Structure 1
Amino acid sequence: MLSTPAKEVYILGVTLTGRQFRPSDWSERLAGVMSQFRPGGPQPGSHLGYSPWCIPTSVNGVRCVIVHPDLIEYDRMAWDFCMNFAKDNDLQVSKGAPEPKTN
């Protein structure tokens, strides 16, 4: 999918066919799984907060997860997990913040 990005990658909660991805809390679930991957490694209680390398958010009203490229250097398999999650679920992926849609 994306090999070595120069900036953050946005996994959008919209499929390649334009459908909203479900469940609605998918971004928090993915970021929760990735919470242990952080600078300095997992610490006691680190499962209680999101990793700075995998952050759930919303952009232009669409749920998404921002994956920081530093994750590649820390743990390539963790990066691949995020990118394969997007691929396996046919989710749109954007290098950098996605452009707002105009009607």
Structure 2
Amino acid sequence: MISPTAKEIFIQGITKDGRTFRPSDWAERLAGVMSSFRPGGAFPGSYLSYSPWCVPTSINGVKCVIVNRELRNAEPMAWDFCVNFAKDNDLQVSDVSPVPPAPATPKAAQTPVAAAVRSDPVAPVIPVDLPKTDRP
């Protein structure tokens, strides 16, 4: 059941009986069909990018399409198309993101030097005192 207050729904590439949905590029195809439905309407070349209201992604290795509720407000028939696509193909739909498990951090990435070098914006940067040398 989709909550009427949910800001987005997640159509997952797993059928209700647990099988992987085929073809493997179904998410990109669905998002491609929806590419002209966007804030401000279609414009020349808009078919070259996905709509911000219907975005393909992969969560935990499962293809998904995230459909924003704004699509329903702007284009109810396009929203119905996405929802009916999921129903017709017996796909799992959720209004809560399937949360990916936290990735395991390799031992080397836990050292202070590695933490300072990583580009992860959430990782704490630990200051490291480097040995002084007389090299330029």
- TM-score, normalised relative to structure 2: 0.70
Identity of aligned residues (%): 67
What is the total number of aligned residue pairs between the two structures?
101
**Quick one: higher RCO (CA 8 Å, sep 6+), 1 or 2?**
1
Give 4+ residue runs of structure 1 displaced > 6 Å after superposition.
none
Are the counterparts in 2 of residues 11 and 91 from structure 1 also a CA contact under 8 Å?
A: yes
More strand by share: 1
1:5, 1:30 → 2: CA distance?
23
1:88, 1:2 → 2: CA distance?
16
Residue 42 of structure 2 is matched in structure 1 by: 42
Structure 2 portions without partners, runs of 5+: 102-136
Deviation at 1:68, TM superposition (A): 0.3
Structure 1 portions without partners, runs of 5+: none
Read off the aligned partner of 1:89 and give its amino acid letter: N
| 1:93 counterpart SS class | strand
Are the counterparts in 1 of residues 9 and 96 from structure 2 also a CA contact under 8 Å?
A: yes
Residue 89 of structure 2 is matched in structure 1 by: 89
Residue 10 of structure 1 is matched in structure 2 by: 10
The answer to whether the aligner puts 1:24 opposite 2:24 as a matched pair is yes
1:92, 1:9 → 2: CA distance?
10
Give the structure with higher Rg (CA): 2
CA RMSD of aligned residues (A): 1.5
Deviation at 1:3, TM superposition (A): 6.8
1:59, 1:6 → 2: CA distance?
19
